Amino acid sequence: MTYQTGGLIQTSDYNGFINNNASANINAIWNTAYGQNALTAVATGDIISASKWAALFNTVNSIANHQGTTVASRINPASGSLIQALTNVGTDITNCTSNILNAATSGTPYSAWTGTTSKTAATGSGTSSWSITFTSTITFNSASAASNFFNAGGLIKLQFSKTSTGTTADTSWNSFIGSSGSPTGVVANAVFFSSAGAIKTIAGTQYTGTTTQGGTGTPATLARSVGYAQLTASPQTIYQQLDPAAPYTGYYVKVTAQSTGTTLTFVTTWFSTGGVISGGSATSASTFGTAPTTLVTYIPPETTYLSNTWGTPTITSSVA
Protein backbone atom coordinates (compact mmCIF):
# COMPACT_ATOMS: atom_id res chain seq x y z
CA MET A 1 0.00 0.00 0.00
CA THR A 2 1.25 3.47 -0.86
CA TYR A 3 1.83 5.70 2.18
CA GLN A 4 -1.32 7.73 2.71
CA THR A 5 -2.87 9.71 5.53
CA GLY A 6 -4.93 7.50 7.83
CA GLY A 7 -3.50 4.28 6.42
CA LEU A 8 -1.32 1.84 8.31
CA ILE A 9 2.38 2.59 8.28
CA GLN A 10 4.44 -0.14 6.63
CA THR A 11 8.12 -1.04 6.99
CA SER A 12 8.79 0.17 3.45
CA ASP A 13 7.29 3.56 4.35
CA TYR A 14 9.30 3.89 7.55
CA ASN A 15 12.55 2.71 5.96
CA GLY A 16 11.98 5.04 3.05
CA PHE A 17 11.70 8.02 5.37
CA ILE A 18 14.88 7.21 7.26
CA ASN A 19 17.09 5.67 4.56
CA ASN A 20 15.69 4.60 1.22
CA ASN A 21 14.11 7.66 -0.38
CA ALA A 22 17.09 8.75 -2.43
CA SER A 23 16.16 12.41 -2.84
CA ALA A 24 15.24 13.08 0.81
CA ASN A 25 15.72 10.88 3.86
CA ILE A 26 16.40 11.58 7.52
CA ASN A 27 19.73 9.79 7.92
CA ALA A 28 21.24 11.66 4.96
CA ILE A 29 20.80 14.82 7.03
CA TRP A 30 21.02 13.63 10.62
CA ASN A 31 23.79 11.06 10.29
CA THR A 32 25.69 11.70 7.06
CA ALA A 33 25.70 15.51 7.14
CA TYR A 34 25.58 16.26 10.87
CA GLY A 35 27.25 13.11 12.24
CA GLN A 36 24.45 12.27 14.68
CA ASN A 37 23.44 8.70 15.58
CA ALA A 38 21.54 7.15 12.68
CA LEU A 39 18.00 5.86 12.98
CA THR A 40 17.85 2.11 12.40
CA ALA A 41 15.78 0.45 9.71
CA VAL A 42 13.02 -2.05 10.46
CA ALA A 43 13.20 -5.54 9.00
CA THR A 44 10.46 -6.50 6.53
CA GLY A 45 7.54 -7.98 8.41
CA ASP A 46 8.55 -6.55 11.78
CA ILE A 47 6.19 -4.40 13.81
CA ILE A 48 6.93 -0.69 13.77
CA SER A 49 6.72 0.28 17.42
CA ALA A 50 5.42 3.55 18.76
CA SER A 51 8.93 4.33 19.99
CA LYS A 52 10.32 3.92 16.44
CA TRP A 53 7.70 6.26 15.02
CA ALA A 54 8.28 8.75 17.86
CA ALA A 55 12.06 8.64 17.23
CA LEU A 56 11.42 9.53 13.59
CA PHE A 57 9.23 12.50 14.55
CA ASN A 58 11.62 13.66 17.27
CA THR A 59 14.56 13.55 14.86
CA VAL A 60 12.66 15.54 12.23
CA ASN A 61 11.85 18.12 14.92
CA SER A 62 15.49 18.31 16.04
CA ILE A 63 16.65 18.83 12.45
CA ALA A 64 13.97 21.46 11.87
CA ASN A 65 14.77 23.31 15.10
CA HIS A 66 18.48 23.30 14.25
CA GLN A 67 17.84 24.67 10.77
CA GLY A 68 14.92 26.97 11.51
CA THR A 69 12.71 24.95 9.15
CA THR A 70 8.94 24.96 9.75
CA VAL A 71 7.42 21.47 9.99
CA ALA A 72 4.00 20.09 10.89
CA SER A 73 3.05 19.74 14.55
CA ARG A 74 2.46 16.12 15.57
CA ILE A 75 1.67 14.10 18.68
CA ASN A 76 3.85 11.05 19.14
CA PRO A 77 1.88 7.77 19.16
CA ALA A 78 1.30 6.07 22.49
CA SER A 79 2.76 2.64 23.17
CA GLY A 80 0.33 -0.09 22.08
CA SER A 81 -1.67 2.19 19.79
CA LEU A 82 -2.27 1.53 16.11
CA ILE A 83 0.28 3.53 14.11
CA GLN A 84 -1.21 5.31 11.15
CA ALA A 85 0.29 7.34 8.37
CA LEU A 86 0.29 11.07 9.12
CA THR A 87 0.24 13.92 6.67
CA ASN A 88 3.27 15.90 5.42
CA VAL A 89 6.02 13.65 6.81
CA GLY A 90 7.65 13.34 3.39
CA THR A 91 7.19 17.04 2.72
CA ASP A 92 8.86 17.95 6.01
CA ILE A 93 11.84 15.71 5.27
CA THR A 94 12.13 17.21 1.79
CA ASN A 95 12.10 20.74 3.22
CA CYS A 96 14.73 19.80 5.81
CA THR A 97 16.85 18.37 2.99
CA SER A 98 16.56 21.64 1.05
CA ASN A 99 17.69 23.54 4.17
CA ILE A 100 20.44 21.10 5.12
CA LEU A 101 23.16 23.79 5.38
CA ASN A 102 21.01 26.30 7.30
CA ALA A 103 21.37 26.83 11.04
CA ALA A 104 19.01 28.95 13.13
CA THR A 105 21.71 29.72 15.70
CA SER A 106 25.46 29.31 16.18
CA GLY A 107 27.68 28.17 19.02
CA THR A 108 30.06 30.28 21.10
CA PRO A 109 32.90 31.79 19.00
CA TYR A 110 36.28 30.15 19.55
CA SER A 111 39.16 32.61 19.98
CA ALA A 112 42.20 30.60 21.09
CA TRP A 113 45.28 29.75 19.06
CA THR A 114 48.92 28.86 19.40
CA GLY A 115 51.66 30.87 17.73
CA THR A 116 51.26 34.47 16.62
CA THR A 117 48.83 36.43 14.47
CA SER A 118 50.65 39.80 14.48
CA LYS A 119 53.82 41.20 12.84
CA THR A 120 55.17 43.20 15.77
CA ALA A 121 58.42 44.27 14.05
CA ALA A 122 58.63 46.89 11.30
CA THR A 123 58.41 45.71 7.68
CA GLY A 124 59.94 47.18 4.53
CA SER A 125 63.00 49.07 3.42
CA GLY A 126 63.08 52.07 1.11
CA THR A 127 61.40 51.54 -2.24
CA SER A 128 61.75 47.75 -2.39
CA SER A 129 58.66 45.56 -2.54
CA TRP A 130 57.79 43.53 0.52
CA SER A 131 55.18 41.12 1.83
CA ILE A 132 53.94 39.75 5.13
CA THR A 133 52.66 36.18 5.12
CA PHE A 134 50.18 35.07 7.79
CA THR A 135 49.49 31.33 7.98
CA SER A 136 46.77 29.75 10.08
CA THR A 137 46.06 26.01 10.18
CA ILE A 138 42.86 24.62 11.66
CA THR A 139 43.09 20.95 12.61
CA PHE A 140 40.13 18.62 13.15
CA ASN A 141 40.18 15.13 14.63
CA SER A 142 39.15 13.68 11.25
CA ALA A 143 37.80 14.62 7.85
CA SER A 144 34.35 13.50 9.05
CA ALA A 145 34.58 15.90 11.99
CA ALA A 146 35.45 18.74 9.64
CA SER A 147 32.55 17.87 7.35
CA ASN A 148 30.13 17.71 10.29
CA PHE A 149 31.38 21.11 11.52
CA PHE A 150 30.66 22.85 8.24
CA ASN A 151 27.45 20.99 7.36
CA ALA A 152 25.99 21.87 10.75
CA GLY A 153 26.66 25.59 10.27
CA GLY A 154 30.26 26.09 11.42
CA LEU A 155 32.10 29.13 10.05
CA ILE A 156 35.75 30.16 9.77
CA LYS A 157 36.29 33.89 10.37
CA LEU A 158 39.27 35.93 9.16
CA GLN A 159 39.82 39.48 10.41
CA PHE A 160 42.45 42.08 9.54
CA SER A 161 43.73 45.01 11.58
CA LYS A 162 46.51 47.62 11.66
CA THR A 163 46.58 50.90 13.58
CA SER A 164 50.29 51.41 14.37
CA THR A 165 51.77 54.77 13.34
CA GLY A 166 55.16 56.38 12.90
CA THR A 167 55.97 56.18 9.18
CA THR A 168 54.55 57.72 6.02
CA ALA A 169 53.48 54.30 4.73
CA ASP A 170 51.57 53.61 7.95
CA THR A 171 49.02 56.24 6.99
CA SER A 172 48.15 54.59 3.68
CA TRP A 173 48.20 51.07 5.10
CA ASN A 174 46.00 52.02 8.05
CA SER A 175 43.47 53.47 5.62
CA PHE A 176 43.68 50.34 3.48
CA ILE A 177 43.40 47.78 6.29
CA GLY A 178 41.41 49.67 8.92
CA SER A 179 40.97 48.44 12.47
CA SER A 180 38.94 45.36 13.28
CA GLY A 181 35.37 46.33 14.03
CA SER A 182 35.61 49.49 11.93
CA PRO A 183 33.88 49.69 8.53
CA THR A 184 36.22 52.45 7.34
CA GLY A 185 39.00 50.27 5.91
CA VAL A 186 39.05 49.29 2.24
CA VAL A 187 39.77 45.66 3.16
CA ALA A 188 36.81 43.66 4.45
CA ASN A 189 36.30 43.82 8.19
CA ALA A 190 35.80 40.03 8.13
CA VAL A 191 35.88 37.17 5.64
CA PHE A 192 33.68 34.19 6.47
CA PHE A 193 34.36 30.74 5.04
CA SER A 194 31.52 28.21 5.11
CA SER A 195 30.50 24.72 4.04
CA ALA A 196 29.95 25.04 0.30
CA GLY A 197 29.22 27.45 -2.51
CA ALA A 198 25.46 27.10 -2.02
CA ILE A 199 23.56 29.94 -0.36
CA LYS A 200 22.66 29.20 3.25
CA THR A 201 21.38 31.14 6.26
CA ILE A 202 23.25 30.83 9.56
CA ALA A 203 22.06 32.71 12.66
CA GLY A 204 20.00 35.04 10.49
CA THR A 205 22.78 35.99 8.06
CA GLN A 206 23.08 34.73 4.50
CA TYR A 207 26.39 33.21 3.42
CA THR A 208 27.79 31.71 0.24
CA GLY A 209 31.04 29.72 0.13
CA THR A 210 33.17 32.79 0.94
CA THR A 211 31.40 35.90 2.21
CA THR A 212 32.71 39.31 3.28
CA GLN A 213 31.41 41.68 5.91
CA GLY A 214 32.23 45.39 6.12
CA GLY A 215 34.98 47.25 4.32
CA THR A 216 34.53 49.91 1.66
CA GLY A 217 36.33 48.20 -1.22
CA THR A 218 35.13 45.92 -4.01
CA PRO A 219 37.21 42.73 -3.96
CA ALA A 220 39.20 41.80 -7.05
CA THR A 221 38.47 38.19 -6.07
CA LEU A 222 35.69 36.85 -3.86
CA ALA A 223 35.15 33.11 -4.26
CA ARG A 224 31.47 32.90 -3.40
CA SER A 225 31.30 29.45 -4.99
CA VAL A 226 34.17 28.03 -2.90
CA GLY A 227 33.58 26.56 0.54
CA TYR A 228 34.97 23.58 2.43
CA ALA A 229 33.39 21.13 -0.02
CA GLN A 230 35.27 22.73 -2.94
CA LEU A 231 38.72 22.81 -1.34
CA THR A 232 41.60 20.63 -2.51
CA ALA A 233 45.20 20.15 -1.38
CA SER A 234 46.21 23.01 -3.72
CA PRO A 235 45.75 26.63 -2.61
CA GLN A 236 42.78 28.52 -4.06
CA THR A 237 42.41 32.29 -3.79
CA ILE A 238 39.18 32.98 -1.94
CA TYR A 239 39.64 36.73 -1.39
CA GLN A 240 41.82 39.51 -2.75
CA GLN A 241 41.46 43.23 -2.22
CA LEU A 242 43.53 45.78 -4.14
CA ASP A 243 44.15 49.26 -2.79
CA PRO A 244 42.25 51.61 -5.14
CA ALA A 245 44.03 54.77 -3.95
CA ALA A 246 46.84 56.10 -6.17
CA PRO A 247 49.78 55.79 -5.87
CA TYR A 248 49.17 52.68 -3.76
CA THR A 249 47.34 50.55 -6.33
CA GLY A 250 50.04 47.89 -6.14
CA TYR A 251 49.09 47.10 -2.54
CA TYR A 252 46.90 44.08 -1.88
CA VAL A 253 45.64 41.61 0.70
CA LYS A 254 45.11 38.08 -0.60
CA VAL A 255 43.79 34.96 1.14
CA THR A 256 44.22 31.40 -0.12
CA ALA A 257 42.67 28.25 1.33
CA GLN A 258 43.48 24.57 1.00
CA SER A 259 42.57 21.37 2.80
CA THR A 260 43.71 17.81 3.40
CA GLY A 261 40.27 17.01 4.78
CA THR A 262 41.51 16.98 8.37
CA THR A 263 43.37 20.30 8.21
CA LEU A 264 42.50 23.63 6.62
CA THR A 265 45.25 26.12 5.89
CA PHE A 266 44.59 29.80 5.25
CA VAL A 267 47.52 31.88 3.95
CA THR A 268 47.05 35.64 3.92
CA THR A 269 49.55 37.85 2.07
CA TRP A 270 49.88 41.58 2.59
CA PHE A 271 51.89 42.97 -0.34
CA SER A 272 53.39 46.44 -0.88
CA THR A 273 55.45 47.98 -3.64
CA GLY A 274 57.61 49.85 -1.11
CA GLY A 275 57.83 51.93 2.03
CA VAL A 276 58.23 50.96 5.66
CA ILE A 277 55.35 50.17 8.02
CA SER A 278 55.57 49.95 11.79
CA GLY A 279 55.07 46.87 13.90
CA GLY A 280 53.29 47.40 17.18
CA SER A 281 51.51 45.47 19.91
CA ALA A 282 50.27 41.94 19.32
CA THR A 283 46.64 40.86 19.25
CA SER A 284 45.39 38.78 22.18
CA ALA A 285 42.34 36.55 22.53
CA SER A 286 40.34 39.52 23.82
CA THR A 287 41.87 42.64 22.23
CA PHE A 288 43.30 43.67 18.87
CA GLY A 289 46.75 45.22 19.13
CA THR A 290 48.19 47.91 16.87
CA ALA A 291 50.47 45.69 14.77
CA PRO A 292 49.65 44.30 11.31
CA THR A 293 47.36 41.36 12.12
CA THR A 294 45.42 38.62 10.39
CA LEU A 295 43.33 36.75 12.94
CA VAL A 296 41.71 33.41 12.06
CA THR A 297 39.08 32.06 14.46
CA TYR A 298 35.90 30.03 14.08
CA ILE A 299 32.25 29.92 15.11
CA PRO A 300 31.13 26.34 15.83
CA PRO A 301 27.63 24.92 15.31
CA GLU A 302 25.04 25.03 18.08
CA THR A 303 24.69 22.11 20.50
CA THR A 304 21.11 22.57 21.67
CA TYR A 305 19.64 20.27 19.02
CA LEU A 306 22.85 18.59 17.85
CA SER A 307 25.51 16.68 19.74
CA ASN A 308 29.07 17.89 19.19
CA THR A 309 30.43 15.51 16.54
CA TRP A 310 33.15 17.89 15.34
CA GLY A 311 35.20 18.12 18.53
CA THR A 312 37.22 21.23 19.34
CA PRO A 313 39.41 22.11 16.33
CA THR A 314 42.74 23.72 17.14
CA ILE A 315 44.32 26.74 15.43
CA THR A 316 48.02 27.29 14.86
CA SER A 317 49.14 30.67 13.48
CA SER A 318 52.44 32.09 12.31
CA VAL A 319 53.78 35.23 10.61
CA ALA A 320 56.71 35.56 8.24
Q: What is the reported pTM?
A: 0.93
| 82 plus 136 within the same structural domain | no
Question: What is the predicted pLDDT for the residue at 1?
Answer: 40
| 132 plus 243 within the same structural domain | yes
Question: What is the predicted pLDDT for the residue at 286?
Answer: 86
- Its domain, for residue 68, covers 11-98
- The phi, psi pair for 51, rounded to 5°, reads -65, -35
Domain boundary among 64, 98, 132: 98
pLDDT, averaged in runs of 10, over the chain (320 residues): 54 89 95 97 81 90 98 75 68 97 98 97 93 98 98 98 95 91 82 97 98 95 98 98 91 97 98 96 93 98 98 98
Cis amide bond preceding 219, omega within 30: no
Question: What is the predicted pLDDT for the residue at 319?
Answer: 98
| 144 plus 25 within the same structural domain | no
The one-letter code for the residue type at 199 is I
| 142 plus 82 within the same structural domain | no
Question: What is the predicted pLDDT for the residue at 183?
Answer: 62
| 137 plus 267 within the same structural domain | yes
Does the residue 103 lie in any domain? no
Does the residue 91 lie in any domain? yes
Q: Are 244 and 227 in contact (CB under 8 A)?
A: no
